[in-house]
Structure 1
Amino acid sequence: MKIAVVGTGGVGGYFGGLLARAGHDVTFLARGAHLEAIRRDGLRLITASHGEFAIAPARAEDDPAKVGPVEYVVVAVKTYHLEAVAPTLGPMVGDGTTVIPLLNGVTAHEVLLRHLPRSAVVGGLCAVFSQIESPGVIRMGGNVATVVVGELQGPPSERLNRIVGAWRSQGVEASQSDDILTALWTKFLFIASAGGITSLARVPVSGVRSTPRTRELLVQAFREIEAVARAHGVRLAPDVVDKTLAWVDRLAPEVTTSMQRDVEAGRPFELEAFSGTVVRAGAEAGVATPVHATLYALLLPALERAVG
């Protein structure tokens, strides 16, 4: 399969690297020193799941127009970059192209649909704890590597079965959902809550789950998102909070969130896509979100400083 990965960071580098490892024709879109290192040395991955391996040589570009139409476009940029990136993807989208967003949050497909054919865009999410360690190098830790994709309308499709199969061949827990919006909000319940709380607590997820008062705050944050989602008609499982908490308890002790790492490094971070979205969606539905409103207010000065 011919695939383009837009955003070769922790997510795109890892899941795109596995597709290349499986023998597919993958082009990585990146920028700056990371782009130059991939062009020069290939893409190196250090993983808990597959050990260390390299995609070398690796095709890397900084302009979608240089790639041309592909079968799959995997979009893995940060949410705050998507508005700028989405209008540039057109040259890679031809008849039969499938565009799969693997971003945090619950609105990436909506942004893509404003710029690309409705038939091309599907829903998607992932879970992995990985990051750029240095230019050209991706490090993946922890014990989680999951991808879920799904058609926004209609039944499960063969086009998604194909790429799910490609990821499964590399050991990824990949699946196609018949209700991708519910799947997106189920992940969002965790990442939007844990992202804010770990950023403020400055400890790994294990530190949050093992401290009773902080664990209770995490549960309260989960329940706020559950209430907001249900108010917007999302069919979350009745036990979604309990299942999410049980999943948190199984995470490797060293796991941190991407938002936490960005806050610590003084980089822009996904506050608007996380607690900002919860607060706004709650206000629209008349659902109080005091925990997420507090997380948002406490982290907003750091975000404003990071973006200048």
Structure 2
Amino acid sequence: MTSSLIKNICVYGAGALGGAIAAKLAKAEGTQTQISVVARGAHLEAIRAGGISLWEADADRPIIASMAATADAGELPPQDLVVTGLKGHQLAAAVPGIAKLLHSGTRVVMILNGVPWWYFHRDRQSGHAEHQMKELDPNGDLWRLIGPERIIGCVAYQGAEVIAPGEVKLSNNGHFILGEPSGETTADIEAIAALLQQAGVNISISSRIRDDIWSKLMGNAAFNPISALTLGLMSDIMDDPALAAMVGQVMSEVKAVAEALGSQIAMSIEERLERSRQIGPVRTSMLQDLLAGKALEITPLVGVLVALGRLTNVPTPVSATILALVTQLDRKNQQSAD
């Protein structure tokens, strides 16, 4: 695959991150790609009416990008590239729609926090190659109907929020890391990276995408559930000695499980905590979802960590306690929303 052969791109789940990438791709100059999005509700109607308004960090006016938008992926032709902006706990329900977009050569870039469902595909580090995690893919539909061989992993360091229907705001100049599960630098990943870079997306390619997944999870597994449980911003958490210590304990558990699976995290816990203190008053995605009455992204961030701790015989007592608490919080929050 070359970038010139990528003619049709669909962003499935055009929320904060997905909407930002769709807008940048739609506004990219010098490409002949057709951009479409799958969205729902008021956000979908706003995109249909006026496109996506994307506020880049520190911008005084938004980028406004028009594109085809639908709630039914079956209305779209087969795509050369699908980018999913869904969270891990939303993917299983979206499989039928995503599958409608695929042809024999379609590649799928999944922007995910936490451990992804395809993690063990072509994995030469852990000793558990091709192991399927029922926690993330209960019926095996992702593995069977999408297929791990199509996937290009993606780790995102990009703060983003839907601030109104059809309107997305970025909080920083982000960075996205792409990686083939095999670790190879293929023609496909080079073409996709080039296309995204041309659209103004900051991209790098990793030969060890699992290391990048665990490095990001060190923060997400701690800050997301603790922020939901306390209604605290990241700065609030780091300013509280007891909570900051808990963050460090979760990070230590993440690092231990990662290393048991053959991954390498270069940054020490102390360095990661110090970096976290510099982030400031950020509202995590899980806290955003809690306040909006949405289901929380618990399993990919915490549940699978605990499950992989069992698989590798690595104790995760703090994460297991947080998992129990945030699961009950999510249950009560959903009951209130209903």
Which TM-score applies when normalising by structure 1?
0.91
Query: Aligned in 2, Cα 1:68/1:243: closer, same or farther, shift over 3 Å?
Result: farther
Out of 26, 44, 50, the position equivalent to 1:41 is 50
SS of aligned partner of 2:176: strand
Q: Corresponding residue for 2:129?
A: none
For residues 247 and 166 of structure 1, the distance between their equivalents in structure 2, rounded to whole angstroms, comes to 31
Whether contact under 8 Å (2:179, 2:189) holds in the other structure is yes
Q: Is the counterpart of residue 294 in structure 1 residue 321 in structure 2?
A: yes
Task: Indicate the larger mover: 2-11 or 158-167.
Answer: 158-167
Q: Corresponding residue for 1:249?
A: 277
Out of 140, 151, 155, the position equivalent to 1:121 is 151
Task: Indicate the larger mover: 264-273 or 112-121.
Answer: 112-121
Amino acid corresponding to residue 18 of structure 1 in structure 2? K
Task: Indicate the larger mover: 206-215 or 268-277.
Answer: 206-215
Give, in angstroms, the shift of residue 284 of structure 1.
2.3
Whether contact under 8 Å (2:27, 2:65) holds in the other structure is no
Number of residue pairs matched by the alignment: 305
Out of 260, 263, 268, the position equivalent to 2:290 is 263
For residues 140 and 214 of structure 1, the distance between their equivalents in structure 2, rounded to whole angstroms, comes to 27
For residues 70 and 107 of structure 1, the distance between their equivalents in structure 2, rounded to whole angstroms, comes to 22
SS of aligned partner of 2:145: coil
Stretches of structure 1 that go unaligned for 5 or more consecutive residues are none
Whether contact under 8 Å (1:69, 1:92) holds in the other structure is yes
Q: Corresponding residue for 1:58?
A: 67
* Richer in strand (by share): 1
Supply the RMSD in Å over aligned alpha carbons.
Answer: 2.1
Give, in angstroms, the shift of residue 13 of structure 1.
0.7
Q: Corresponding residue for 2:101?
A: 92
Give, in angstroms, the shift of residue 227 of structure 1.
0.9
SS of aligned partner of 1:52: coil
Give, in angstroms, the shift of residue 56 of structure 1.
4.0
Whether contact under 8 Å (2:293, 2:334) holds in the other structure is no
Q: Which runs of 4+ in 1 moved over 6 A?
A: none
Identity of matched residues, %? 29
SS of aligned partner of 1:96: strand
For residues 204 and 58 of structure 2, the distance between their equivalents in structure 1, rounded to whole angstroms, comes to 18
Q: Deviations over 1:115-147 (max 9, x none)?
A: 224432222221222122121111222x35121
Which TM-score applies when normalising by structure 2?
0.83
Give, in angstroms, the shift of residue 58 of structure 1.
1.9
Q: Corresponding residue for 2:11?
A: 5
SS of aligned partner of 1:255: coil
Amino acid corresponding to residue 26 of structure 2 in structure 1? A
Out of 305, 311, 324, the position equivalent to 1:278 is 305
Matches within 5 A, 1:75-114: 75-109=84-118, 111=137, 112-114=142-144
Whether contact under 8 Å (2:236, 2:281) holds in the other structure is no
Amino acid corresponding to residue 320 of structure 2 in structure 1? A
Amino acid corresponding to residue 137 of structure 1 in structure 2? E
Query: Aligned in 2, Cα 1:302/1:44: closer, same or farther, shift over 3 Å?
Result: same
Q: Is the counterpart of residue 133 in structure 1 residue 160 in structure 2?
A: no
Amino acid corresponding to residue 25 of structure 1 in structure 2? Q
Query: Aligned in 2, Cα 1:37/1:274: closer, same or farther, shift over 3 Å?
Result: same
Q: Corresponding residue for 2:194?
A: 165
Whether contact under 8 Å (2:23, 2:65) holds in the other structure is no
For residues 324 and 66 of structure 2, the distance between their equivalents in structure 1, rounded to whole angstroms, comes to 45
Out of 235, 239, 258, the position equivalent to 1:229 is 258
Q: Corresponding residue for 1:14?
A: 20
Task: Indicate the larger mover: 129-138 or 236-245.
Answer: 236-245
Amino acid corresponding to residue 156 of structure 1 in structure 2? T
For residues 72 and 261 of structure 1, the distance between their equivalents in structure 2, rounded to whole angstroms, comes to 29
Stretches of structure 2 that go unaligned for 5 or more consecutive residues are 1-5, 120-136
Out of 197, 209, 214, the position equivalent to 2:238 is 209
Q: Corresponding residue for 1:194?
A: 223
Whether contact under 8 Å (1:42, 1:54) holds in the other structure is no
Give, in angstroms, the shift of residue 240 of structure 1.
4.6
Q: Deviations over 1:254-300 (max 9, x none)?
A: 32210011123332111122222222221222222121112112212
